[in-house]
Structure 1
Amino acid sequence: MSTRIEILTGEALGAALEDLARLRIEVFRAWPYLYEGSMDYERGYLERYEKTKGAVIVGAFDGDRLVGAATGEPLEEEVIQFRAPFEDKGLDPKTIFYLAESVLLPAYRGQGIGHRFFDEREAHARRLGFQATAFCAVVRPDSHPLRPADYQPLDDFWKKRGYDKLNGVRVHFPWRDVGEEHETEKPMQVWMRHL
């Protein structure tokens, strides 16, 4: 499949938010996120990117269709649930660029797009003068009943890109799991690298 990568900021970023919302709902519904999303929630959650100086979406397009996207913004602009664990560890959010969601439809995986998502966001962070990049990954127990038998964690991929788990630093963020009535907080491990 032929895809093109575009760096979206400003008006182009704003124009992509609706498609990003749909992608997040579809991709994050699968393991390990199991996210039961809604467009109403997504619109409110994602609108901050449009208002944040330095925010970026790296979009993967098949023709005019957004089939994957990775976002980022200065950590100091993130919601408190994401900032506070860094601050508690003595890290300055002003020096860290936060790599938020990375979603790609299954049919487009294994083509190097995930690497491009990291390459382009890291390059964007360097241009803005950030010293490090960081992201969070949900932590689910191996014994979880919905864990697929063939699930392969992305830890090795992230390590090859120079990321390490930041010991003792976890974000806790609520969402509703597929099939559940109410939101519950999920632990997410922070990974970071210096640029």
Structure 2
Amino acid sequence: MTLEIRSLTGSDLKDALEALADLRISVFRDWPYLYDGSLEYEARYLRRYGETDGAVIVGAYDGGKLVGAATGEPLGDELKDFRAPLEERGYDVSRIFYLAESVLDPHYRGRGIGHRFFDEREAHARRLGYAKAVFCAVIRPDDHPLKPADYRPLDPFWRKRGYQKLDGIQVTFPWKDLGEDGETEKPMQVWFRTL
């Protein structure tokens, strides 16, 4: 297997949005996101990356197929849902880079690709002059009926990369869970790092 990691911006980024939508729908169906997505929703949600200066998709390609991707953009250009909790606490969101979704086909996990996703997005943020980065992770109850018995949270991986939870700072964002009739708000913990 020849796996290639590419940082995509501009027209290359726009060209990858459809494949990213498919990948998000597939990967985010699993725990802990349980996302019941549609291509129509994805097109609306992902459009902002193609319209934002400084946005990046770090893609993992097996041949010509996108098998993993991680996105990012300046936090000041992110959706209000992701900015507001930090703004309310006095953070200057114009000086922070937001690391958004990270999705990887399960067949490619355990090969260091997650580290590359962080390395490439952090390097991109530094090139743009950002010295701080944040991301959000969904919070699910430990006793959730769909939680797999063998689930291992990614907290140790994120801490090893230098990220820490920002105590008391959470984002809420709506999406439709599997088995739900409509969207409901989901709490997400904000993680922070000085680059």
Residue 145 (structure 2) aligns with = 145
2:79 alignment partner AA: V
TM-score, normalised with respect to structure 2: 0.99
Residue 104 (structure 2) aligns with = 104
Residue 193 (structure 1) aligns with = 193
**1:93-126 alpha-carbon deviations (Å, 9 max, x no partner):** 0110000000000000000000000000000000
**1:151-175 alpha-carbon deviations (Å, 9 max, x no partner):** 0000000000000000111000000
Which 4+ runs in 1 deviate beyond 3 A?
Answer: none
Q: CA deviation at 1:131?
A: 1.6
Q: What's the C-alpha RMSD, in Å, of the aligned pairs?
A: 0.5
Residue 71 (structure 1) aligns with = 71
Identity between Structure 1 and Structure 2 (%): 68
Residue 30 (structure 2) aligns with = 30
Distance 1:11 1:158 in 2: 30
Matched positions, count: 195
3-state SS of 1:148 partner: coil
Q: CA deviation at 1:186?
A: 0.2
Distance 2:99 2:106 in 1: 20
Q: CA deviation at 1:182?
A: 1.2
1:77-92 mapped onto 2 (5 Å cutoff): 77-92=77-92
Residue 182 (structure 1) aligns with = 182
**Unaligned ranges ≥5, structure 2:** none
Residue 124 (structure 1) aligns with = 124
Residue 10 (structure 1) aligns with = 10
Distance 1:41 1:182 in 2: 13
Q: CA deviation at 1:82?
A: 0.3
3-state SS of 1:32 partner: coil
**Unaligned ranges ≥5, structure 1:** none
2:102 alignment partner AA: S
Residue 169 (structure 1) aligns with = 169
Distance 1:152 1:170 in 2: 21
Q: CA deviation at 1:2?
A: 2.6
**1:27-48 alpha-carbon deviations (Å, 9 max, x no partner):** 0000000000000000010010
Residue 53 (structure 2) aligns with = 53
3-state SS of 2:81 partner: helix
